[in-house]
Amino acid sequence: MSTGPAVAIALTFIWLGMVLAISFLEAPLKFRAPGVTLQIGLGIGRLVFRALNSAEMLVAFGIAVALWFSHPPTGIIAAFAIAFVALIAQLVGVRPRLTRRSDAVLAGTNGPRSHAHYVYVALEAIKVVALFAGGILLLSS
């Protein structure tokens, strides 16, 4: 196996692990910890997801560069394109809405609940499937 695919595989499973650990484990559990109020949980969540999304962008760039030089089959490109598009949709389309909602909650305004959180979680699930598929396809190529 050449360097490009090996780097892409490593970065893929690092990214997958980060998303699974943060989005599907840490995020829901932090609100169950003793003494964690909604405001504290939102504050922590904003910091954690800002860091996660920054790391995801770096990892996605690394994968893109590694794949660019290795010329993978179309299925691999498609899997990673789905993951990249899901990440961009989260950052550009969903995160601003979540930020507005959390700003309102932190300011003490408790208006109607936003459905943006469900969209964000759905995009996380799409990313997980796409990264898993892309990683498996890379391993088998």
Residue found by looking up tokens 């990683």 in the block: 135
- Reported as a single tens digit per residue, the pLDDT across 70-119 is 999 999 999 999 999 999 999 999 999 999 988 888 888 876 778 999 99
Residue 120's pLDDT is: 97
In whole angstroms, give the CA distance from residue 42 to residue 29. Answer: 12
Q: Which domain holds residue 71?
A: 3-140
In whole angstroms, give the CA distance from residue 57 to residue 87. Answer: 8
Q: Encoding tokens for residue 120?
A: 């964000």
Q: Which of 34-38, 113-117, 127-131 has the highest mean pLDDT?
A: 127-131
pTM recorded for the entire structure: 0.93
Which residues are CB-contacts of 67 (< 8 A; sequence separation ≥ 6)?
A: 4, 8, 76, 77, 80
Residue 28: pLDDT over 80 = yes
Number of domains observed in the structure of the chain: 1
Residue 136's pLDDT is: 98
Helices 38-70 and 95-106 cross at an angle (nearest 10°) of 160
- Reported as a single tens digit per residue, the pLDDT across 45-69 is 999 999 999 999 999 999 999 999 9
Residue 113's pLDDT is: 77
Residue 16's pLDDT is: 98
Closest CA to 63 of 107, 26, 16: 16
Residue 46's pLDDT is: 92
In the chain, the percentage of residues whose pLDDT exceeds 90 is 77
